[in-house]
Amino acid sequence: MSETLARPTGLRADAARNRARLLEVARRHHSQTGQLPLNAIAAEAGVGIGTAYRHFPSQQSLVEALAMDALDRLVGAVKQAIAVEDPARALRAMVTTAYEHLCDDAALTALLAGGTFACADAAAVAGGLFADVEILLRRSRQSGALRAEVGVDDLRRLLCGLSAAATAGPAPLGNDRGRYVEVLLGGLRP
Amino acid sequence: MSETLARPTGLRADAARNRARLLEVARRHHSQTGQLPLNAIAAEAGVGIGTAYRHFPSQQSLVEALAMDALDRLVGAVKQAIAVEDPARALRAMVTTAYEHLCDDAALTALLAGGTFACADAAAVAGGLFADVEILLRRSRQSGALRAEVGVDDLRRLLCGLSAAATAGPAPLGNDRGRYVEVLLGGLRP
Amino acid sequence: MSETLARPTGLRADAARNRARLLEVARRHHSQTGQLPLNAIAAEAGVGIGTAYRHFPSQQSLVEALAMDALDRLVGAVKQAIAVEDPARALRAMVTTAYEHLCDDAALTALLAGGTFACADAAAVAGGLFADVEILLRRSRQSGALRAEVGVDDLRRLLCGLSAAATAGPAPLGNDRGRYVEVLLGGLRP
Amino acid sequence: MSETLARPTGLRADAARNRARLLEVARRHHSQTGQLPLNAIAAEAGVGIGTAYRHFPSQQSLVEALAMDALDRLVGAVKQAIAVEDPARALRAMVTTAYEHLCDDAALTALLAGGTFACADAAAVAGGLFADVEILLRRSRQSGALRAEVGVDDLRRLLCGLSAAATAGPAPLGNDRGRYVEVLLGGLRP
DNA sequence: AATGAATGAGCGTTCATTCAT
DNA sequence: TATGAATGAACGCTCATTCAT
């Protein structure tokens, strides 16, 4: 019943406001420093530390809450890619959109790079995503658009690593980052 | 005058011994936990914390000292690759060996992923490495073995991201990791 | 008016159910960890923290509620002991049974060791107990079965200390603990 | 080599001063509240929290340092008791002095009640103490002054429990507490 | 040059308690 | 009356860094 959820329902108005504030501050911290110090985030959000822990009993649950919206969008984009008839084009669409989503949302990258889940709903959504991707990969493989040995988990790792390569460092790539996904796409062909 | 060096010369015997002990302990910490707590390392090495700071005034300098040996080996391997006459084979050799070196040495990956240097000698060696790679890339490009838009810095990022993808997570790839570099090699072709 | 009671009467059905659940969880916590964290207990019992506080406005009142059953049993056992005609045997019976009750119920020990009461009914029951014991002690003293200087409060302290000695530590005494009460019984003789 | 000691040697002057301040404040806290919050103790002693942890890496080590002087005195007193020729009188002397020492020093009671040791020197001193007591108990048993089934560890528990009984509660016994050890002495006789 | 004592910012976490809904 | 959101004091502990000896 009172299981931790990345996207809770039926929050009281004030609780929802606090949650939103916490997420907002946390997002800034995470994207800027890569860290999620709950004490500082709570203070900056003008919220008691206990409240922060009530909403996010672990850092992982906070990461999942941060990533939830982006995860939803990614799921939608992948479903759109699956709808493309030509397997090669579908694969390209899926990889490209996943790459863009990961580059745009550090929490999503952290969540998928970790591969573990604290919140049941996040795990469920991610599981659906992986299942969708699996379908697409199988089609791509059968049509000869994808190397045989690349599975869902490989793609997860490759995409996370690639977005890290594009995003990390003192001078993260901006508009230019599209080049990297072309390298990956080229490499995925048999 | 006495600029910090990743590989100092003319150390007194005891100083050299302390340095070696610190590096040994630090390497263990870094490979096991990914962290470099100077206090604990100094204590474990049986060396005063002040001495540790004399040797490594910043964590970055410690990382560079840790990576120096691997960096040397990488430089040698790249020079060997350059010596290969066929540009495509040379490129493949270089990328493969760099990937393996990065997978095998977390400090080397940290150093190259950061892209900044605290020690002049490390910067110089890395500069030489990049110059060598640049030569190889130009040859590869001219012979049509490499995409036009991939520069040295792109390759640095791609390799670091790829080794992170192979190494990270609860179940790092082991012998199997060779698959990933094939993806990269495939993607580098025009 | 509505003074706090360790054993309230006329509770609504749901309130009684909540109370019972809270006590059940609290007993488990107290016997396992020696602590009574109200938040965790309320959550585990599926009861709001506010409700928990309504039932048990202080930790002391919770301890007293936890101890109430055991206290009743102890009162009964002491009355039985008083009924024994021979003063020496009566004293022995009373001390032995009290010791066993204390060893078996950590909350009872906590209540009697503290010596103060938050709930009027607990205080009343304990007062009755002490009065009964007082009677027995007087008889024992007069018959020469008890040292003159040992009063009810001394016995309370001695018994609590003894059960702590038997129960505490990494290796609490089990079946063997009967030895300790023999020491006390021996020492109570003039 | 750098093992934790309850009584370190060769401290720098300022370190010794800080240590003494910490112990002084800690003793007050422990005797008044039974707790040892390192943060508060460090602040009250006018010492950084890091310094406090340097001196006492665990609460247990702080307890042992607090108890060390009393433990020494107890060892001396027990040796004196052993020197008494008559076994019954020797036993009485030992039990009485141990009881008094425990009543007078809460840290000593905590240390002996726990029965575990973080500092090698404290463990060694305590081990010597137990060995001495063992000798005395054997003599007492052989001369018929002690119940057969009471061993060193039983006596440890009984004495800790008894001193807790005398010391605890809202109205700890003062001069009067001698009565309790008479009960124990009486009970130890066969 | 080496040592290691001292510092204190900072993080994770618990939990008693209050109060708006 | 029941609920549970919010609060914040308090505590344990780590670790980078400075500086007196």
Give the nearest partner residue to A187 out of B149, B163, B186, using CB atoms: B186
Provide the 8-state DSSP code for A144: T
The string of pLDDT tens digits covering residues B117-172 is: 999 999 999 999 999 999 999 999 999 999 999 999 999 999 999 999 998 877 88
pLDDT for the residue C175: 85
Cα dihedral B6→B123→B116→B126 (10° resolution):
-110
Please judge whether B114 and A169 are an interchain contact, meaning their C-beta atoms are less than 8 angstroms apart. Answer: yes
Residue B1 — pLDDT band, cuts 50, 70, 90?
Answer: very low
pLDDT score, position A3: 65
pLDDT, averaged across chain A: 94
Q: How do residues C59-113 score in pLDDT, each as one tens digit?
A: 999 999 999 999 999 999 999 999 999 999 999 999 999 999 999 999 999 999 9
Residue B3 has pLDDT above 90, yes or no: no
Q: Point out the residues of chain D with pLDDT beneath 70.
A: 1-3
Residue B2 has pLDDT above 70, yes or no: no
Provide the pLDDT for residue B20.
95
Amino acid (1-letter code) at residue A87 = P
> How does the average pLDDT of chain C come out, rounded?
94
pLDDT for res C11: 86
Task: Tell me whether residue D186 is exposed, middle or buried, using C-beta atoms within 10 angstroms of its C-beta: 0 to 12, 13 to 18, 19 or more.
Answer: middle
Picking from A104, A4, A133, the residue whose alpha carbon sits closest to that of residue A61 is A4
Element (H or E) spanning B26, and its range? Answer: helix B13-33
Residue A126 CA to chain centroid, in angstroms? Answer: 9
Q: What's the Cα-to-Cα distance from A63 to each of A37, A49, A105, D89, rounded to whole Å?
A: 12, 17, 11, 70
> Which residues of chain C are within 8 Å of residue D179 when distances are taken between CB atoms?
149-150, 154
> Max CA-CA distance within chain C?
56
Are D188 and C186 in contact (CB < 8 Å)? Answer: yes
Through-space separation of residue C35 CA and nucleotide F11 C1' in angstroms:
16
pLDDT of residue A2: 43
Name the token pair of D170.
């809202």
Token pair 């905590």: residue: D110
The beta-strand segments (E) located in chain A are none
C135 reaches D (C-beta below 8 A): no
Structure token pair of residue B55: 């040797």
Q: What is the pTM of this model?
A: 0.90
Please tell me the predicted confidence (pLDDT) of residue C169.
78
A122: Cα within 13 Å, side-chain hemisphere: 28
Closest CA to A55 of A101, A7, A100: A7
The alpha helices in chain D, defined as continuous H runs, are 13-33, 38-44, 49-55, 59-83, 87-104, 106-114, 120-142, 152-167, 178-188
| Closest residue to C184, CB basis, from D160, D168, D183 | D183
Average pLDDT over chain B, rounded to an integer: 94
Q: Tell me, rounded to whole angstroms, the distance of Cα A179 from its chain centroid.
A: 21
CA A26 to chain centre: 16
Q: Do B161 and A162 touch (CB under 8 A)?
A: yes
**Tokens 């089609």 — which residue?**
A139
CB contact under 8 A, A179 and B113: no
Q: Write out the two tokens for D16.
A: 């010794």
SS3 D48: coil
Residue B166: predicted pLDDT: 94
Residues of chain A under the 50 pLDDT cut? 1-2
Query: Closest residue by Cα to the C1' atom of nucleotide F17?
Result: B53
Distance CA C116, CA C112 (A): 8
What one-character DSSP code corresponds to residue C148?
T
Give the C-alpha distances (Å, rounded to integers) separating C173 from B106, C163, C164, C179: 52, 10, 10, 10
Of A124-128, A167-171, B174-178, B186-190, the range with the lowest mean pLDDT is A167-171
Number of H helices, E strands in chain C: 9, 0
